[in-house]
Amino acid sequence: MQRRLLASIAAAAALLLAAAPSATAEVEPGGWTSYSPGFSVQERGCGDVNDLTFTLTCSTASGDQRAERRYTTYTGGSRQFEGYFRITSQTGSRISLKQTFHETGSGAYFMLAVERGGRLYAVHGGTTLATGATVGTTVRVNTVHDVGGTHRTYINGSLKHTVSSGTGGFYDKFGSYRTDSGAGPISVVWSGIRFWRK
């Protein structure tokens, strides 16, 4: 079935579902501890952040256009991220929704992005990760990162991307971010954000 990611919003319900962290729901069991890393909000260009709604309001195809949460840096061990996103409107294309950033290395070494029409892809390499969930539905994202090992991305529970990882400092980002070849507008709502570490 051909699918897309456009959606409309049910913000109140989504916020209700941004549940408190659970230590029992990690996706690869074995010594994980739930935690709540700190974050800063980044709004650049036409980016706007309203709690967990991340909007690029312009179609500018140049410069720094971003609306994101940038979480604290980690330097070793393993980390899990879980979140759900729903695109409430998208007339732009090639917008990154989730990044794992190699702060002491190559920069954004994993970027999950969405094209106009709904294809989810990895910016580095262009691998298609999914043709999206059916429009109007929420997509679940899990990433598992073993620093110095691999970084694995699961879309709706299925492994879609694996890349080797260097060492050093990394951090998670999510929201909406114009890639080098992209442009807004877009509005995406994230919910159910959880982190684990070991």
Partner 1 sequence: MAVLASVGCAPADANAPGIHLSAALTGDDVTLTWDGHRGGVVVEFATEPDGRYTILDFPPADRSTFEHPDLMPATTFYYRVRPVTGPTSAPATPVPIDVAPADEDWIVPRTVPDPAAKPAPGGAPTNLLARTVAPDGLLLTWRDNATDEAGYLVEAEVGGDFQVVYVVDRDVNSAGIITQESERAATYRVRAYRFGAQSNVVHEQTPG
First to last CA, the chain: 38
Q: Could you say whether residue 30 binds partner 1 (CB under 8 A)?
A: yes
Angle at 42 between CA 38 and CA 47, to 5 degrees: 145
Please report how close the Cβ of residue 81 comes to partner 1 at its closest, in angstroms.
13
Q: Is the sign of the CA dihedral 167, 158, 99, 79 positive or negative?
A: negative
Q: How far is CA 139 from CA 42, 63, 76, 147, in A?
A: 23, 28, 28, 25
Cβ atoms within 10 Å of 122's Cβ, excluding its own? 17
Given the rule CB under 8 A, which of 12-20, 47-55, 121-129, 170-178 is the region that contacts partner 1? 12-20
Q: Which of residues 73 and 156 has its CB atom nearest to partner 1 in the complex?
A: 156
Please report how close the Cβ of residue 179 comes to partner 1 at its closest, in angstroms.
18
Given the rule CB under 8 A, which of 13-21, 32-40, 103-111, 165-173 is the region that contacts partner 1? 13-21
Q: Which of residues 9 and 41 has its CB atom nearest to partner 1 in the complex?
A: 9
Task: Please report, for the chain, how many H helices and E strands are present, in that order.
Answer: 1, 15
Q: Are 163 and 110 within 8 A, CB to CB?
A: yes
Q: Could you say whether residue 57 binds partner 1 (CB under 8 A)?
A: no
Q: Report 101-140 residues binding partner 1 (CB under 8 A).
A: 116-118, 133-140
As beta bridge partners, residue 113 has: 96, 121
Angle at 125 between CA 86 and CA 134, to 5 degrees: 25
Please report how close the Cβ of residue 136 comes to partner 1 at its closest, in angstroms.
3
Given the rule CB under 8 A, which of 11-19, 37-45, 64-72, 100-108 is the region that contacts partner 1? 11-19
Binding site for partner 1 (CB under 8 A): 1-4, 6-14, 17, 19, 22, 24-25, 27-30, 84, 86, 89-91, 116-118, 133-140, 142, 154, 156-160, 192
